[in-house]
Amino acid sequence: MTTQTTAPQTPRKVDTGKHAGLIGIPPQLGRALATGGGALTIVSTFLAWTWTAEFPGDLTVYGYPGGLQVLVLIGGALTALFGLASYGIKGLRWLTPAGADSALKLSALGAFATAWFTIIAISVQLGGLVNLEPGGWVAAIATLAAVHGAFALPFDWPANEPVDPEDTTKDRILHQRRHVFAVLKASLASGTAAPARKLPAYAEILVIVAALALGLIVFTYGIGTEYDELFVGFLITAGFGFAAAAKAGLVGRVSALTAKHRNVTMIGAFVAAAAFPFTQSDDQYATIGVYILIFATVALGLNIVVGLAGLLDLGYVAFLGVGAYTAAMVSGSPSSPFDIQLPFWASALLGAAVAMVFGVIIGAPTLRLRGDYLAIVTLGFGEIFRITVLNMDGTSGPDITNGSNGISSIPNLNILGFDFGEEHTIAGFTIARFANYFLLMLLITLIVVVVFRRSSDSRIGRAWIAIREDETAALAMGINGFRVKLIAFALGAALAGLAGTVQAHVTYTVTPEQYQFAHVVPPNSAFLLAAVVLGGMGTISGPLVGAALLYLIPAKLQFLGDYQLFAFGLALVLLMRFRPEGLIPNRRRQLEFHEETEAPTVLSKAGA
């Protein structure tokens, strides 16, 4: 009988939160300063920030926040909330399952950035700091104090102990238990998270409903920003607010609830989206909404190709063009070479079918390639499509697509007597043309989401993921890699073509310039791929959120002129640096990018 020996273990240093962070003051004093600074920031928004109404938003009113003051108020409220949660208050523990200190830092930074951006904008536009009223000075001092206090909190979390590979299973279990107890002890000592009791099912559904309502409010507010400074402040507040919620573990907790109640979440999400047109007084912002949905639907189709199957497609926008041109040719347009007008359901199916055929034609000879070689071939296909429809003008080729003029004067849809080009009154709300198409496109998006969800959960979906993770291993296990990839390529093309049939009627005209690789206005292949990567590959909500941001931000940053793409590219670089897995990643990719912080050592060694 042999005796197993284990290596001596050194005592662990558990962070109890008693030493200072970046700022040389005690953490408890810093926590109080950050919480008080957040509360004082709230008070400052009810004071006048400037003496004249020439600055947008009219920040001259006492007792009623307006414009950018509202965003600073939100930042201050989040700072105060996370500050109170960092004291371990029982009623707030559910909001901070991962601890409140990191969230407190980010929320304080968000309030500081928004307040000081407003102060600088006032000074630049009105001619100096002399134009500030007491409220502006109070906000500046309060947010600075909150940031100062937040960065006095410790940054280090309890580190995982090294595991001896000679440990027995019993030793590993005891080791893991000691680590868990040490983390809980440090968390309680530093005022961070503690396990929250499980909510009943109805309460979980209410949390999901509240999250969806909050998402609708944020989206509506972002689209409806009336001036440039307000949109920039919105981006700062929303970005830091989301990051703070993610650091607190609240985003992960809500994501777990949505995964548990998937059907309720999907129904609630589309009900909230359908309510968007009824929140608008005119068709101005519904226009942006319908284009976002078109962009998001195509991005979700590309997510099948890139996110699930792992095929880098740089010419995907061409399939959107195939569907749009097909629908335009059979819509009764006077520019169409075919004197035919099919009902929408027939043109939609035809556009999806033609796009699928093109997907098979392009994929069959090229999908035996991998990686960069496949990306180059798909990029070439996108350019071939654009040049082909450009030359089908009756001079350089057959007269089919009308060349650079495209197919114009596409009539509005009329489905069962419902004319999408006219205003309609529903339940006392008047919705105009783009609101009508928004609701139609929302239905198309629902179909694409259902197809994506059913496909990813099916046998073929698991085969796609296996191909994405390791194609050689998948082939060795008996998966027909070529057939599986061709199905993904064809299905993704069909979904893009389906979205293109609606785009043709929304835009009235389809032209070759709309389907370039890197067009100024999305959707294009570069922006579609960025939407999938930015939002989170392999998820449903990720590409939808990514597409909304990638369409909304350029549309609102036009005041930057030539610096628009520079600012946009810089934002993408920063996001990929600090959150490479995307805004809403699946768990697998999150662990791949943050294995050293997310996965315990015991699990990583067992998995190895």
Tokens 């947010």, located at residue: 143
| Spans of the chain, pLDDT less than 70 | 1-24, 155-197, 518-522, 561, 587-608
Q: How far is CA 195 from the centre of its chain?
A: 28
The runs of H, that is alpha helices, within 304-343 are 317-329
The one-letter amino acid code at 288 reads: I
What is the model's pLDDT at position 522?
A: 66
pLDDT at 487: 92
SS3 245: helix
What is the rounded distance in angstroms from the CA atom of residue 377 to the CA atom of residue 417?
Answer: 44
Q: Which pLDDT score is estimated for 590?
A: 64
The DSSP secondary-structure symbol of 562 reads G
At 178 the pLDDT is: 52
- Position 76 scores a pLDDT of 94
pLDDT of residue 114: 95
CA 193, CA 211: separation in Å to the nearest integer?
21
Q: What residue spans of 392-480 are helical by DSSP H?
A: 433-456, 459-469, 471-476
- The amino acid occupying position 39 is A
pLDDT at 589: 64
- pLDDT score of 234: 93
Percent helix, strand, coil in the chain, to 5, is 65, 5, 30
DSSP conformation letters of 98-123: T-SHHHHHHHHHHHHHHHHHHHHHHH
**Alpha-carbon distance values, 502 to 293, 303, 357 (Å):** 11, 20, 19
Helix (H/G/I), strand (E/B), else coil: 415? strand
Instruction: Tell me phi and psi for residue 312, to 5 degrees.
Output: -80, 105
Main-chain phi, psi angles of 414, to 5 degrees: -140, 105
Amino acid of residue 408: S
Residue 520: predicted pLDDT: 57
Name all domains of the chain by residue range, CATH numbers in brackets: 27-156+225-250 (1.20.140), 275-556 (1.10.3470)
Both tokens of 291, joined, read 């284009």
pLDDT at res. 311: 87
Q: Token pair for residue 434?
A: 């783009």
How does pLDDT run across 413-462, given as a tens digit for each residue?
888 888 888 887 777 777 888 888 898 999 999 988 888 888 888 899 89
pLDDT digits (tens, 9 = 90+) for 566-585: 777 787 788 778 777 777 77
Residue carrying structure tokens 């909330």? 81
- Residue 470 is predicted with a pLDDT of 85
CA distance 54 to 365: 63
Place of tokens 């939609």: 348
Burial of 350-384, coded b for 16+ CB within 10 Å and e otherwise, reads bbbebbbebbeebbeebbeeeeeebbebbbebbbe
